[in-house]
Amino acid sequence: MAVIIKTNNPDELLKKINEEIQNENIDTWLVDDDGDYTHTPEQWYCKAWMHKISNPEETSLIFGIVGNKQVKMTKYLYAVYHGRFSEMLLSHFDDEIEEIEITAGKTEHDLF
């Protein structure tokens, strides 16, 4: 699965996401030193990461999922990560997003 976020300024949106997480205005996601995002509730913590994919298109951000080698990636796990990540984006940045697309099934953007 991939999350594709259509926005007028992808770099600015990414910066705002990171700032909101660092300022603890978003407390259910953590960004690590690699710039990947993990869901912080205990049952989901570090079971996977949402990873920003380099994208030459200037109107979207693309995130794939990176699995934890010690945790089996299931449909439920990647559905939770994609759904909750999209939920966070819509609840905090809806004014800056034109559209969010979530692909079904594994894509070339996913690492598991």
In order of 7, 52, 78, 86, 103, the CA distances from 59 in angstroms are 5, 14, 25, 17, 17
Cα atoms in the 13 Å half-sphere on the side-chain side of 81:
31
The per-residue pLDDT of the chain, averaged, comes to 92
Q: What is the largest CA-CA distance in the chain?
A: 38
Which range among 26-35, 62-71, 98-107 shows the weakest confidence by mean pLDDT?
A: 98-107
pLDDT at 30: 97
Q: Which residue has the higher pLDDT, 40 or 111?
A: 40
Could you tell me which of 74, 78, 87, 89 has the C-alpha nearest to residue 20? Answer: 89
Report pLDDT for 111.
Answer: 65
pLDDT (0 to 100) of residue 66: 94
Q: How many CB atoms lie within 10 A of CB 17?
A: 23
Q: What is the pLDDT of residues 48-91, one digit of tens each?
A: 999 999 777 788 999 999 999 999 999 999 899 999 999 999 99
